[in-house]
Amino acid sequence: MTENIQTVTGTIEPSRLGQTMIHEHVALDLSHIRQDNDPILSDDEMQNREIARLVAAGCGGIVEVTNRGMGRDVEALGSMSRKHRLPIIAATGFYKQDYYPRDVFEKNEDEIAALFISEICEGIEGTGIRAGIISEIGSSLNEMTKEETKVFRAAIRAQHETGAPLSTHCELGTMGTEQLKLFSKMGSDFSKISIGHQDLNGDREEYERLLQAGLYIQFDTIGKNSYRAEADRLEDLIFLIEKGYSKQLMLSTDITKKSYLKVAGGFGYEHLFTKFIPALKNRGVSEDIIKTMMIDNPQRFLSF
């Protein structure tokens, strides 16, 4: 059976995916939780200027991990994908407990798994647009709550059933090992699991523990230098590349606010292409390894 990647405009062959940002938000609305309008991204003039700049900088694909309860808008993703001729993959899932809509608490594990499977196999909320990833399935800071464990278990079951890739949220880089234990306990296919926000972690022993198990890890908050210094992210990534793990590493910026956009004076999605990748090259990281992290790994991970 041929493996394809499921985008908001239909299935594509993996080879059609270029340099891919593995963990982004392009259309979301978290204003109801954060009580301000900065965390609203939509298919408007500002965002379209931003995406045009990003494509010009070299981006050839976006994994959009906004899920249920985060103001997901897959029709806006479809519109932007067509306008910019940019493959975008939409997500099914629930984020972390503080962001759960009420129905997460009302549904059991079976019902949540069935919901995820339906959004992958049939479509999202009557749009006919199918999710191509289960993401970003989140744990809280230094803990995985009972409700989060239920959502993780449902996500793992949906991954078993569909073969779709699954990526996670680790609050400030914490709980990766605990997520690994749950994936192991439930017999997950580690080649389709990616652990998020590990560039906020800084624990090289934990990096290697996750990578030696066969998982992918994401350095996906690149540019958010108020969380962690760019130089420290760079050193950790180069450490892992030199250890031979390049085939399990993927990169992104995780933009969630208008104020982060380049056109609004922020660092922008393009920071990955215009600043961080050049810094890697300046440190001697080869074009082949950049291609591995930015093209080969996403193509392989996202195919099912």
Predicted local distance difference test score (pLDDT) of residue 187? 95
Predicted local distance difference test score (pLDDT) of residue 2? 80
Predicted local distance difference test score (pLDDT) of residue 35? 87
* Position 185 pLDDT exceeds 80: yes
* Position 33 pLDDT exceeds 90: no
* Position 20 pLDDT exceeds 90: yes
* Position 150 pLDDT exceeds 90: yes
Predicted local distance difference test score (pLDDT) of residue 157? 98
**pLDDT by residue (tens digit) across 40-92?**
999 999 999 999 999 999 999 999 999 999 999 999 999 999 999 999 999 99
Predicted local distance difference test score (pLDDT) of residue 32? 87
**pLDDT by residue (tens digit) across 198-238?**
999 999 999 999 999 999 999 999 999 999 999 999 999 99
**pLDDT by residue (tens digit) across 240-292?**
999 999 999 999 999 999 999 999 999 999 999 999 999 999 999 999 999 99
Mean pLDDT of 157-165: 97
Mean pLDDT of 177-197: 97
Could you tell me the pLDDT band of residue 1, with boundaries at 50, 70 and 90?
A: low
Q: Which CATH number fits domain 5-302: 3.40.190.10, 2.40.50.140, 3.40.50.920, 3.20.20.140?
A: 3.20.20.140
Q: What is the 3-state secondary structure (H, E, C) of the chain?
A: CCCCEEECCEEECHHHCCCEEEEECCCEECHHHHCCCCCEECCCHHHHHHHHHHHHHCCCEEEECCCCCCCCCHHHHHHHHHHHCCCEECEECCCCHHHCCHHHHHCCHHHHHHHHHHHHHCCCCCCCCCCCEEEEEEEECCECCHHHHHHHHHHHHHHHHHCCCEEEEEHHHCCHHHHHHHHHHCCCCHHHEEECCHHHCCCHHHHHHHHHHCCEEEECCCCCCCCCCHHHHHHHHHHHHHCCCHHHEEECCCCCCHHHCHHHCCCCCCHHHHHHHHHHHHCCCCHHHHHHHHHHHHHHHHCC
Mean pLDDT of the chain: 97
Could you tell me the pLDDT band of residue 117, with boundaries at 50, 70 and 90?
A: very high
